[in-house]
């Protein structure tokens, strides 16, 4: 296809596609799906080889969020039966992080529900960052705490944070339909604050909330303009007890086309498959590794993910390798600009999800699970292990 050849050439040159080209990727047919994946994979391999970066979420504070983000299981008014607990102590968070690092993760994403941190919260998270880095000197730490006030990003950076996650989630035109307690501009401002403080910016989107193709393209082009080092792509899990509980709009093929479009628009950026990969990509998860170069290991914020061992087996079986702690994620030109190459996940699970990351993940498939390609509500399970519980984490 001339379209795909053009997009590959542009991706190898770091040239931005046109909006029409990006929309055309989303409009391709299932018959052309493998051609789309093959083309986007050429761009992925050029910039990132066959490496897969592993990230691990630690939910520092779960539930009871005052914001009304419609996709989020921790939102104001949510009746989802998620874990609810206040701040983990630094040693508890460090212990939780150690499980993910032992499983091969090189980045720990520290997430807390809420509109944004108070200065006391920043002190708490700073102590947690220091506790983790005392045990694991080379680990990358990304914080995801909501909207930042002036000076807070600088304090997190001084404490040892490498990155900050705050997702745009959807297009500016539709943002007010999803959230009313803060604005799209508030989110953009927080990403700017992270950049200005010298943190590696991580910002992504949630697909499947009833948006149009144009909205997906709008938000990805807005992300390209913000120039984050990492773009998490979340696939909505319609969690019971949230306003979007009935929005089952995604197929595995649709998810792959979205990931391919993101890769073409952001060719040299860490594209992370975040929340919902198990639920929506299902058996096509290995194909997605040809598009994205980063995933979360194990569980998410408020829901369970694929077993960590299964994640590692999937990566190996697909012919990829886990990125080592001594390897730089980003291509050299981006690593230099980022000040050392922490290539960087919250809404559904960006760096995690302060507001929605709990909506992603999956439980093991039941023996009598339907084989048809309809909504798979059986794949959504609330997290009952790991941080905030007495049970061992999934890593």
Q: What is the pLDDT of residues 3-36, one digit of tens each?
A: 999 999 999 999 999 999 999 999 999 999 999 9
Catalytic residue among 65, 255, 266, 360: 65
CATH assignment of 2-363+372-379? Answer: 3.20.20.70
Query: Is residue 142 flagged as an active site residue?
Result: yes
Query: Is residue 144 flagged as an active site residue?
Result: no
pLDDT of residue 65: 86
What is the pLDDT confidence band of residue 300, given thresholds at 50, 70 and 90? confident
Query: Is residue 342 flagged as an active site residue?
Result: no
Question: Exposed/middle/buried for 307, CB within 10 Å: 0-12, 13-18, 19+?
Answer: middle
Query: Is residue 277 flagged as an active site residue?
Result: no
Question: Exposed/middle/buried for 325, CB within 10 Å: 0-12, 13-18, 19+?
Answer: middle
Mean per-residue pLDDT, 84-106: 93
What average pLDDT does the chain have?
Answer: 88
Integer Rg of the chain from CA: 19
Catalytic residue among 202, 255, 351, 360: 202
Query: Is residue 266 flagged as an active site residue?
Result: no
pLDDT of residue 362: 34
Of 237, 261, 232, residue with least CA distance to 249: 237
Output the known binding site: 65, 69, 72, 109, 142, 202, 272
Mean per-residue pLDDT, 134-143: 95
Q: With helix as H, strand as E and coil as C, how does the chain read?
A: CHHHHHHHHHHHCCCCCCHHHHHHHHCCCHHHHHHHHHHHHHHHHHHHCCEEEEEEEEEEEECCCCCCCCCCCCCCCCCCCCCCECCCCHHHHHHHHHHHHHCCCCEEEEEECCCCCCHHHHHHHHHHHHHHHHHCCCCEEEEECCCCCCCHHHHHHHHCCCEEECCCECCCCCHHHHCCCCCHHHHHHHHHHHHHCCCEEECCEEECCCCCHHHHHHHHHHHHHHCCCEEEEEECCCCCCCCCCCCCCCCHHHHHHHHHHHHHHCCCCEEEECCCHHHHHHHHHHHHCCCCCEEECCCCCCECCCCHHHHHHHHHHCCCEECCCCCCCCCHHHHHHHCCCCCCCCCCCCCCCCCCHHHCCCCCCCCCCCCCCCCCHHHCCECCCCCCCCCCCCC
**The most confident of 35-44, 109-118, 291-300, 367-376, by mean pLDDT:** 35-44
Q: Who's near 310: CB < 8 A, 6+ residues apart?
A: none
Alpha-carbon span 180 to 64, nearest angstrom: 17
Query: Is residue 272 flagged as an active site residue?
Result: yes
Asked whether the CA dihedral 250, 253, 255, 258 is positive or negative, the reply is negative
Reading the block at residue 204, the tokens are 């992504």
Mean per-residue pLDDT, 309-337: 94
Q: Which is more confident, 188 or 70?
A: 188
Q: Is residue 55 a contact partner of residue 165, using CB atoms and an 8 Å limit?
A: no
* Chain centre distance of CA 6: 28
Reading the block at residue 295, the tokens are 């995933």
Of 144, 184, 182, residue with least CA distance to 164: 144
Output the known binding site for [4Fe-4S] cluster: 65, 69, 72
pLDDT of residue 381: 67
Alpha-carbon span 103 to 9, nearest angstrom: 36
Output the known binding site for [2Fe-2S] cluster: 109, 142, 202, 272
Query: Is residue 109 flagged as an active site residue?
Result: yes
C-alpha distances (whole Å) from 149 to each of 66, 121, 193, 345 are: 17, 12, 8, 20
pLDDT of residue 239: 86
Mean per-residue pLDDT, 81-110: 92
Q: Which is more confident, 331 or 239?
A: 331
Catalytic residue among 44, 75, 109, 266: 109
Q: Kindly report the CA angle at 348 between 61 and 175, in degrees rounded to 5? A: 115
Q: pLDDT at residue 143 above 70?
A: yes
pLDDT of residue 214: 98
Residue-range domain boundaries for the chain: 2-363+372-379
The residue whose two tokens read 């319609």 is: 238
């Amino acid at each position: 296809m001339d379209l795909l050849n053009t997009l590959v050439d542009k991706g190898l040159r770091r040239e931005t596609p046109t909006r029409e080209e990006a929309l055309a990727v989303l409009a391709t047919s299932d018959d052309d799906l493998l051609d789309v994946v093959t083309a986007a994979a050429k761009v992925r391999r050029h910039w990132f080889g066959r490496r897969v970066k592993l990230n691990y979420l630690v939910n520092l504070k779960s539930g009871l969020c005052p914001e009304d983000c419609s996709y989020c299981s921790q939102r104001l008014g949510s009746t989802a039966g998620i874990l609810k607990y206040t701040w983990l102590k630094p040693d508890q968070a460090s212990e939780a992080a150690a499980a993910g690092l032992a499983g091969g993760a090189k980045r720990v994403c520290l997430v807390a529900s809420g509109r944004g941190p108070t200065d006391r919260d920043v002190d708490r998270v700073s102590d947690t960052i220091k506790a983790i880095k005392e045990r694991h000197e080379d680990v990358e730490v990304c914080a995801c705490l909501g909207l930042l006030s002036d000076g807070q990003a600088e304090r997190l950076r001084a404490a040892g944070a490498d990155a900050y996650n705050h997702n745009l989630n959807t297009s500016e035109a539709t943002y007010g339909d999803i959230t009313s307690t803060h604005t799209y501009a508030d989110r953009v401002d927080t990403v700017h604050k992270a950049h200005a403080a010298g943190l590696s910016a991580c910002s992504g989107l949630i697909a499947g909330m009833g948006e149009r193709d144009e909205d997906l393209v709008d938000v990805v082009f807005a992300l390209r303009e913000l120039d984050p080092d990492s773009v998490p792509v979340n696939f909505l899990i319609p969690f019971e007890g949230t306003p979007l509980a009935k929005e089952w709009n995604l197929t595995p093929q649709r998810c792959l086309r979205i990931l391919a479009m993101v890769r073409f628009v952001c060719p040299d950026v860490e594209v992370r498959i975040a929340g919902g990969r198990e639920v929506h990509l299902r058996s096509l998860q290995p194909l997605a590794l040809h598009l994205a170069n980063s995933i979360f290991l194990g569980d998410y914020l408020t829901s369970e993910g694929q077993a960590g061992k299964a994640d590692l087996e999937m990566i190996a079986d697909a012919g990829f390798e886990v990125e080592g702690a001594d390897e730089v994620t980003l291509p050299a030109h981006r690593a230099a600009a980022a000040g050392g190459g922490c290539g960087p996940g919250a809404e559904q699970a960006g760096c995690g999800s302060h507001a929605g990351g709990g909506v992603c993940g999956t439980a093991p498939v039941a023996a009598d699970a339907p084989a048809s390609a309809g909504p798979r509500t059986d794949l959504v399970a609330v997290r009952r292990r790991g941080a905030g519980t007495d049970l061992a984490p999934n890593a």
